[in-house]
Amino acid sequence: MPGSLIVAGLGYLAAGHVTRETVGFLEAADRLFYLVGDPVSRHWLTGLNASAEDLHGAYAEGKPRNQSYAEMVERLLAPAREGHAVCAAFYGHPGVLVEPGHAAIRQARREGIAARMLPAVSAEDCLFADLGFDPGYGCQTYEASDFLVRPRRFDSGSALVLWQIGGIGVTDYRRQPLWSRRGLELLATRLGTVYGAEHEVVLYEAARFAVSPPRIDPSTLAALPAAPVSIETTLFVPPLGRPEPDLEVYRALGLEPPPGTG
């Protein structure tokens, strides 16, 4: 009989963002695999399940990341094909820029293996809380490389969140914190044509430990190319201003127009 696959997220705060549902699957798995970015999480996972194996060995300096992802998928599916209950744990949200998690679920389902994903806290969730920003009033989210190579008509009246700005245009794995300074230059130029070079932005990194604060560094688009950025840095671009209200819609809804709008 085929086994099963659970792809779970651990959030960003080491062992602090994990849901009770996820902990149950981590403990019960016949085989547990993980990809995390801190030693505390590694120690916690190996103590939780003796079968725990680190997926980080699939990476190597200069090795194409797609090749590493394919190896991870095969490692997850091999025991599931043998009938084992497999759980794969990734830091952050397992559905946000975690290609091996999505690919493993797709392939498992094609092979008739039961597979599902469990939600978790993402870096963007942490950003909303740490910056005090409510995405309900407008937020656009893109991976930075994809944002540049596939131009969008985005709304400058809504906030813009760009992930992985330290790795723009890089397809292999690198050990240094910043993978592409040139990518930052191109990104700053692209955004500057819309917002202006002096538009204030925020360089953000979620806290990994309860005793350490998140990184919240104000900058400008002009200063972005020289800023201290890593592959984990997320860029938050505040809106230029709120869109003008549609007074006809206000009246149709029976609402009082905002002050000063007639």
The residues annotated as belonging to the active site are 65, 69, 91
- Point out which residues pair with 142 in neighbouring strands: 162
- Cβ neighbours for 46, distance < 8 A, ≥ 6 positions apart: 52
Q: Where are the alpha helices (DSSP H) in 13-143?
A: 20-28, 39-48, 65-81, 99-110, 123-131
Identify whether the C-beta of residue 144 lies closer than 8 Å to the C-beta of residue 231.
no
Tokens of 19: 């849901």
- For residue 174, give the DSSP letter: -
Strand order of the β-sheet with 200-205 is 139-143, 159-163, 234-237, 200-205, 215-220
Residue identified by tokens 């993978």 is 179
Q: CA separation (Å) from 134 to 94, 147, 200, 238, 242?
A: 22, 22, 18, 12, 14
Strand order of the β-sheet with 53-54 is 53-54, 31-35, 85-90, 4-9, 114-117
- For residue 256, give the DSSP letter: P
Q: Which of 124, 119, 97 is nearest to 6 (CA)?
A: 119
